[in-house]
A and B are shown apart, each in its own frame.
Chain A
Amino acid sequence: MKASTKSSVALLSVICSSMLLFSACGSNSNSKGANEGGNAGGESKKVEFKISSWAGPGKKEGMDKIIEEYKKVKPNVKVTYEEVAQSNTDFDVWMSAQLSGNQEPEVIMDFSYHNPYDKYIDKGYNILEMDPYLDKVSPYTNKKWGESFREVDLNLMRSPQNGKLNNVATSMVTLKIAYNKDMYDQLGLQIPTTYTEMIENFKKIREAKIGAEPFSGFLKAGAAWDWFARFTAQQTQEQYVPQIDTLFKNNKYQQDEYVKAIDEGIIDIRKPEVRNLYELFKEFTTYWAPGAMAMTNTEARDMWLQAKTVHAFTINIDAKPFASDMKPSFNWGTFEFPVITKDIAPTSNEDPAEFGDFADAFVVMPSAIKANIQDEVMDFIMFYTSPEMATQLADMNWITPTVVDVEPNANLEMYLPKYRPQNQIDLNSNAILGSVPRQFVFQQIQRYVLDDITIDQLVDSIDKNVKEEVAKLKKEKGWSKENDYGHK
């Protein structure tokens, strides 16, 4: 009797646990259902959505402020914001897990350009295409929403894979080179305007043996190489854009156009203007502090802050910390990545660029499409990108907004872009072919910089890899010369 009671209790506990587990799952779907049911209502229907991103200086405070303002305008819409990771890399891992469990938030803030396509559309997720909303009148400006942005910026935000606007970036990353003014004064150096002058300054710093290396570079992550490749390519390879842009003819190139150009021999990394950039990069890295290969951007920046180096890469997000808790103990300034003159690269347009990336880009996820709340979400995004809100954010976080007619914070003076690029060109990184070939190039660059391989070996290996990756892409996407790379 006693034994049977015990076994009954045990069995009951197992059943109860299972029921709890199932009921927990059930309650989740029920709440979703209720939400969806609510959405079927009229004007005052209750809508709820979540925005997720990785942490950044002032990011949460800024977003919370906008949400608070929005609540006054749309009390029926509940928007919440959460920072779920410390870095964009960690965020990608988190999103992969969320997507595979159909638990993704309705909206995320990510990088712009090729990122939303690569991360979501290419994996089979249907994210919101925003082009139709550009023609809609924003209730917060009484103008077409598309007029809130420069066409050149919108064009850059569009995916190079399908040419569609599947995100809208709200801030711009500008890249500068920070320098130690005190050391410049000590050595009598002038701010360089050309690449040659910059290298001359580096040489003088090294010869002076002042206990500081000329430059704080980093090659554990690919950003420094990416920046260099992009900036130098924009000066020396711009003439390729019309030659590559043959299918869409939209003054930029997409993945299919790139593949076609490789097949036709238009893109060939053996061409001097492409190959030379690898050599130029190697020359640049010889003036970097030793150990850059295993350093991150943060470590490199910290070395500069400790006056162990004279220069470092800096982006506008650094402006606020550099003025407060991370204020350098020396006088400092910034200059733009200098001009590559024609004597170094005969194809140079001698028109430097400082555009790093578009960031804080809203991406509307499948969960919002499934719940049919995309109009409500886009209304919030229109509110966020209204000049009034963009100005508040610019003042608060010292960001460079993408919204037209919004002045960046006065403290951003050292980070203001002097030049705006018309095209995003980079034939050296192969980023457009996907993350695998991009990583391959980066690894070969590391080996080349360390003298493990020669320039000929570098070019041979990248050339071989590019052709293999192009063959893979063509097979995967069904592209061929005969079907005009999927356009027939």
Chain B
Amino acid sequence: MSQPRVNLWKSVYRFKHAYVFLLPLIVLLGLFSYYPIVMALKMSFYHWKGGNEAVFIGFDNFVTLFKDKAFYVSLKNALWFILFDCTVGVLMPLIVAELLFHLKSTRLQYVYRTLFVATITVPSVIIILIWVFLYNPSIGGMNVLVDIIGISPQLWLGGTDTALFSIIFSGFPFINPIFLLIVFAALQAIPKSLHEASVMEGCGVWKRILSIDIPLILGQLKLIFILGILHGMQSFYKQMIMTDGGPGNETLVPGLHMFQAGFRHNDFGYASTIGFVMLILMLVLTIVSNKLIKTEDDH
């Protein structure tokens, strides 16, 4: 029974320098990442306006949250963002990575890859503000564009039916440079011999993608799928800048609801509760995704 423990201590002693050097990082990680989670859980049980006084109120904040209609609306809206991030947000980097990977000219492949990845240097706030301008029904360009295809002018961000999807669409062309690089690197790691063999066997492009590429990069696709869930659930600054959650609650998401509770209504106890419930939801979604998507490594 005690044998593994002895081995563990021996192992720690053997690599003590590495452990010593890791220790400050672990302390900082605990301080800046895990301590806030513990504090959020603690403050969820308090009526705390962000000031010096915090009054213990038991589960009142949780009861309020589960009765809060705006929270359910925000969850429904977040599901749309998650759905989009996990479908189009995964497919687009995959398609572009496949196209880049199969370019014959190495130089052009490099140029195209750089062009796609260079967009990472543009601050996302700038892109959001450009979209806000484009969506302006009077002076923006979107109504001119839709008019060409015979659609009547829309209110876009200002319309009840259009606001949510206008925000989602503002991610066009939906190619996250980091996701693209992850998929591209994974494709490059596939042994060349497999592709050569598939050509010799007369395998078509689709067959090759479905039978060779996707199964071999499933681990990376799973990663960006889970990142998509987390991104969709956590997103809030885009909604805040573009609509501030309106009209009504049409574009409210849990992150923005939490921000408004904390910094606009000074209800930091309630904001902590929202944050903690978000954390639980994200953990559940991540675990479920992990269980459902099986890769070669999992076996």
Interface, chain A (partner B; CB < 8 A): 3, 6-7, 10-11, 14, 17, 92-93, 96, 99-100, 118-120, 122-125, 213, 219-221, 289-295, 299, 303, 306, 308, 434-436, 439, 443-444, 446-447, 450, 452
Contact = CB atoms under 8 A, between A and B. Distances in A.
B265 A435 contact: yes
B50 A96 contact: yes
B137 interface: yes
Q: Identify the 10 closest CB pairs spanning chains A and B, nearest first.
A: A123-B51, A293-B158, A294-B157, A124-B51, A124-B53, A291-B137, A290-B137, A123-B49, A294-B158, A446-B247
B250 to A, nearest CB: 9
Contacts of B135: 291, 294
Interface string B225-239: 000000000000000
Contacts of A306: 139
B158 A7 contact: no
Contacts of A452: 160, 247-248
Contacts of A7: 16-17, 20
Contacts of A289: 137-138
Contact of A294 (B52, B156, B264, B266): B156
Contacts of B265: 434-436, 439
Contacts of B139: 303, 306, 308
B215 interface: no
Contact of A443 (B21, B23, B50, B246): B246
A339 to B, nearest CB: 29
Given A124-B52, A219-B247, A220-B244, 12 more contacts: A7-B20, A92-B264, A96-B263, A119-B266, A213-B138, A219-B246, A290-B155, A292-B158, A294-B163, A446-B247, A447-B248, A452-B248
B156 A291 contact: yes
A88 to B, nearest CB: 12
B286 interface: no
Interface residues of B, number: 40
A96 B261 CA distance: 13
B138 A291 contact: yes
Q: Which residue of B20, B155, B248 has the most chain A CB atoms within 10 A of its CB atom?
A: B248
A14 B23 contact: yes
A291 B157 CA distance: 7
Nearest to B138: A289
B233 to A, nearest CB: 22
B60 to A, nearest CB: 11
Interface string B119-150: 00000000000001001111110000000000
Contacts of A294: 132, 135, 155-158, 163, 242-243, 246-247
A54 to B, nearest CB: 14
